[in-house]
A and B are shown apart, each in its own frame.
Chain A
Amino acid sequence: MRIKGRAWKFGDDVNTDLIIPGKYLELTDPIEMAKHAMEGLSPIFAARVKPGDIVVGGRNFGCGSSREHAPLALKYSGVGAVLAESHARIFYRNAINIGFPALECPGIAKSVEDGDELEVDLKEGIVRILDKDIWLKFIPLPEFMIRILDSGGLTAFLRFNMKEWLEK
């Protein structure tokens, strides 16, 4: 699976309040959540992001609350993947669980500039910065998580693999 788009670059410790502020947690429709994606950091992001665009972060991306609204807002705004030096635990699980690739890619923060064209190959585990001819490898996901991602998320995975899940 390949994802290609423009990089939206952010810094270290991008927390879930910045991705979607607490006042929107009453929302239950992901399309409505998407209208406020990254509102705490960028007033233009939600309006200008295009399908396939890639969010690039530094260390500890997604730290803070357990709100699944955060990866949902990004996914439904059209973002194809989040690449960061490292991800906070709950955000990372949530992203994979909703079928949204959150990848840890050492060196990404210093190599990518805002607006760079990126191409991510999930299968090969490679990010290409197209204009700069730079290739970076990301840390492969554990096999179990790849299966969840391939299914489109934990919900679909369980729907089709319930028997296996319930085995000891």
Chain B
Amino acid sequence: MGMTVSEKILARASGRDKVQPGEIVKAEVDLAMMPDLTTILSFKAMKEMGVDRVWDNEKVVIFLDHVAPASSLQAATVHRDIRKLVSEQGLKYFYDVNSGVCHQVLSERGHVTPGMLVVGADSHTCTHGAMGAFATGVGSTDMGAVLATGRLWFRVPETIRVEVEGSLQHNVQPKDIILKIIGLIGADGATYKAVEFSGETIRKMNISGRMTLCNMAIEMGGKTGIVEADDETANFLSNRCKTNINPIRSDLNAQYEKVLRLDVSELEPQVACPHKVDNVKTVSEVAGVKVDQVFIGSCTNGRYEDLEVTAKILRNKQVHPGVRLVIVPASKEVYLKALKNGIIETLLQAGALVSNPSCGACFGGHIGILAAGEIGLTTSNRNFKGRQGSPEAEVYLSSPATAAASAITGVITDPREV
């Protein structure tokens, strides 16, 4: 019996020829990533384990991104303490508040390459499966063990393979595919499993779209999302990292727990409705719902391609007077490219607010918090009650195209109509 790409990566990292789903293995981690809000707890755990220095100062990457720049005294203190830690530990890679959202910057700067085992103290670390890596989110104590020793125990996950075929209609996007899949699999349908995205549609999809898919694997409970690396991955990484790309693919006779086949040629834009990510409906079922705020950004959909489609829809149009359109480019690179190509200008002319790169708007930290009774439409990944401010607010999730179209009309709108 062959192995899936996830099994191959875990086998390699644990020094084994073969692993099977359900086995617990101790594996060597290739990269450990931490954002600001979980870093202090992770280092505290490392020190309490009796270890003073990280196992490898070139394999740890730290970001100040969730509250960037600091919006409270408490956050400022956390940031101050992290900067001190980075310097004391001699960490080679540190991205301060001017850099962007951890997952976006980690991929842009070529930190993740195919076949790596990546852990991050953030649940959306699964995003990096888009590079053909096995990437998963862990808590601070697990991260403490990694910082102390470079290793961690993993249960080898079963794999669900999702095969996507067909070409998407105009203004139907990768976000619509993943929302559709989450609606089918459910919020806990992939708990502890790897979700492998494959098929002709994925092969033709750019890295930005693949990152959107893998990013939301956690919203079905998944341990990781993963796309086998190919020429697209190699092209993306060619100017970003020096290492040779060594793509690992699933064997043809690999065993999957389940194979889900999806033809997306007729797929309608999808919307996840309050307050669960798997409460997914077609845009026509919720069209007309009035929105107070539209947020376009996050590690799910804050990339250049997302801002580009937003600007295309908003060009020579105005944001509805009853709507606040908050746009947060996911990184400095995204922001600069959008600035150079006139996208930021188009967005500002249309009435949008463009913030510095940060995670704040997605998790209700800062930037555009919703008041009681308000309705938000967002391109991020979670619509949990209270996620973006008041528990009395309602949050809908959609693609950037749907979000942009809705910002113009003031109600949830099918982007194929604009």
Contact = CB atoms under 8 A, between A and B. Distances in A.
Contact of A17 (B40, B48, B153, B382): B382
Given A28-B41, A59-B188, A67-B38, A90 B123 contact: yes
Interface in B350-393: 363-365, 382, 384-387, 391
B247 to A, nearest CB: 27
Contact of B385 (A18, A69, A71, A88): A18
A155 B72 CA distance: 30
A77 interface: no
Interface string B191-203: 1100000000000
A88 B386 contact: no
A25 interface: yes
Nearest to B157: A89
Interface size class of A (residues with CB under 8 A): 35 or more
B153 A63 contact: no
Interface size class of B (residues with CB under 8 A): 35 or more
B38 A66 contact: yes
Contacts of A168: 15
Interface string A81-112: 00000101110011001100000000000000
Contacts of A28: 40-41, 44, 78
B328 interface: no
Given A60-B188, A65-B123, A26 B67 contact: yes
A91 to B, nearest CB: 8
B59 interface: no
Contacts, number: 134
Given A97-B141, A158-B49, A166-B151, 15 more contacts: A15-B382, A25-B365, A26-B74, A60-B188, A65-B123, A66-B121, A66-B122, A66-B123, A86-B191, A88-B191, A90-B139, A97-B139, A155-B141, A155-B144, A165-B145
17 contacts: A21-B386, A23-B365, A25-B37, A26-B75, A40-B384, A63-B188, A65-B122, A66-B38, A66-B137, A88-B191, A90-B123, A144-B24, A144-B153, A155-B48, A162-B49, A165-B149, A168-B15
The 10 tightest CB contacts between A and B, nearest first, are A94-B139, A60-B188, A97-B141, A22-B363, A68-B139, A26-B74, A66-B123, A25-B37, A66-B137, A68-B140
Interface of A: 13, 15, 17-18, 21-23, 25-28, 40, 59-60, 63-69, 71, 86, 88-90, 93-94, 97-98, 142, 144, 153-156, 158-159, 162, 165-166, 168
Interface of B: 15, 24, 26, 37-38, 40-41, 44-45, 48-50, 66-67, 72, 74-75, 78, 120-123, 125, 137-142, 144-145, 148-149, 151, 153, 187-188, 191-192, 218, 221, 223, 276, 363-365, 382, 384-387, 391
